[in-house]
């Protein structure tokens, strides 16, 4: 197992307009191929771990963990004496919770949860929504659900993934990306919304990522420099396994058509949950063994240094 170490420097990340940011070195070794992250502490054999996110300084990791026979919860772990602390369940994680996301300024914390929205009971078969907490000095406020139309509870007869929503993210504290299957639609689509004066604007669908809009787009994140949009999709053109990770590049006209992120990440197994470290140095994703017949092994969090993905070459 790689020894996890921490080094702090100041740098300009990937040409980003944010001029200085703490850069965290998560391993003393060069991570040139997909490697389990903090194996034995964060990535374990007995549980499923997925959807990692870091605090703005990169010193605390939040991730989803599902123990056998239990609902997934959000855990956190921090650096101390050059290693990760033993992960513990976050105080706010009291239901089926997943997909933590923190704004770069550290003021907002989002996560997906199956907990019921007050006065809006779910009448379908499975309903997950996005909840938000605000930072108050040294604590988070009580979670509150995001408003309609970002969240929408299922009506009678509605089934997953219709009206389900679990992850939203931003790199500038203002423009947020998320994906959902709106009621009556046949695919999970990508949306953008602005957060202004503590209010979310009407979401706008982002089109043209795939030539055929039947392919799902979910768990979308931007690279810290804003140049790439990364997400996972099931059975989309160019994929290898059932679920793979795809990437789109920012252009003057919007986002390019998606391409596979490549075989250093995608495999015959299942890959999902793309994330970047705060400085963009590392790329994280989740992988599960494909056992056949739609059965899968436990999920684990993997990482690789972003430079080895050669993202620019994907679009040449």
pLDDT of 296: 84
pLDDT of 24: 86
The rounded Cα 293 to chain-centroid distance in angstroms is 26
pLDDT of 79: 78
CA–CA distance from 267 to each of 130, 245, 286 (Å)? 30, 10, 12
Q: What is the pLDDT along the chain (316 residues), one digit of tens a residue?
A: 443 333 433 333 333 334 345 688 999 899 999 999 999 999 999 999 999 999 999 999 999 999 999 999 999 999 777 689 999 999 999 999 999 999 999 999 999 999 999 999 999 999 999 999 999 988 999 999 999 999 999 999 999 999 999 999 999 999 999 999 999 999 999 999 999 999 999 999 999 999 999 999 999 999 999 999 999 999 999 999 889 999 999 999 999 999 999 999 999 999 999 999 999 999 999 999 988 877 889 999 999 999 999 999 999 9
pLDDT of 82: 67
The encoded tokens of residue 286 equal 């989740």
pLDDT of 11: 32
User: Nearest CA to 239 among 207, 271, 211?
Assistant: 271
pLDDT of 241: 80
Q: Report the distance separating Cα 195 and Cα 180, nearest Å.
A: 18
- Cα–Cα–Cα angle for 258, 264, 268, rounded to 5 degrees: 85
Q: Report the distance separating Cα 190 and Cα 213, nearest Å.
A: 10
The encoded tokens of residue 313 equal 């070459």
For the entire predicted model, the pTM comes to 0.91
pLDDT of 2: 42
Beta bridge partners of 103: none
Please state, as a whole number, how many other Cβ atoms lie within 10 Å of the Cβ of residue 312: 10
Q: Report the distance separating Cα 171 and Cα 103, nearest Å.
A: 7
pLDDT of 15: 36
- Give the pairing type, strands 243-251 and 254-255: antiparallel
């Amino acid at each position: 197992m790689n020894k996890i170490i921490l080094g702090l420097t100041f740098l300009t990340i990937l040409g980003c307009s944010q001029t200085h940011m703490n850069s965290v070195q998560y391993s003393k070794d060069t991570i040139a191929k997909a490697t389990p992250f903090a194996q034995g502490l964060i990535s374990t054999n007995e549980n499923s771990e997925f959807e990692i996110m870091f605090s703005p300084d990169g010193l605390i990791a939040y991730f989803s963990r599902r123990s056998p026979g239990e609902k997934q919860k959000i855990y956190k772990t921090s650096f101390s004496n050059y290693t990760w602390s033993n992960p513990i369940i976050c105080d706010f994680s009291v239901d089926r919770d997943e997909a933590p996301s923190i704004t770069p300024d550290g003021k907002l914390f989002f996560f997906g949860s199956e907990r019921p929205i007050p006065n809006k009971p779910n009448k379908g078969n499975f309903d997950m929504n996005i909840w938000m907490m605000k930072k108050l000095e040294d604590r988070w406020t009580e979670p509150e659900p995001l408003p309609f139309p970002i969240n929408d509870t299922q009506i009678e007869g509605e089934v997953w993934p219709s009206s389900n929503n679990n992850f939203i993210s931003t790199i500038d504290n203002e423009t947020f990306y998320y994906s959902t299957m709106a009621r009556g639609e046949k695919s999970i689509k990508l949306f953008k919304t602005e957060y202004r004066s503590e209010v979310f604007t009407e979401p706008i669908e982002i089109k043209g990522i795939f030539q055929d809009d039947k392919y799902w787009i979910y768990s979308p994140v931007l690279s810290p420099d804003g140049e790439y949009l990364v997400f996972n999709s099931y059975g989309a053109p160019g994929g290898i396994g059932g679920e793979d990770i795809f990437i789109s590049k920012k252009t003057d006209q919007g986002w390019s058509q998606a391409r596979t992120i490549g075989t250093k990440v995608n495999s015959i197994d299942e890959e999902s949950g793309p994330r970047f470290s705060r400085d963009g140095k590392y790329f994280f994703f989740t992988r599960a063994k494909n056992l056949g017949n739609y059965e899968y092994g436990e999920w684990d969090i993997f990482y690789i240094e972003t430079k080895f993905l050669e993202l620019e070459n994907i679009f040449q």
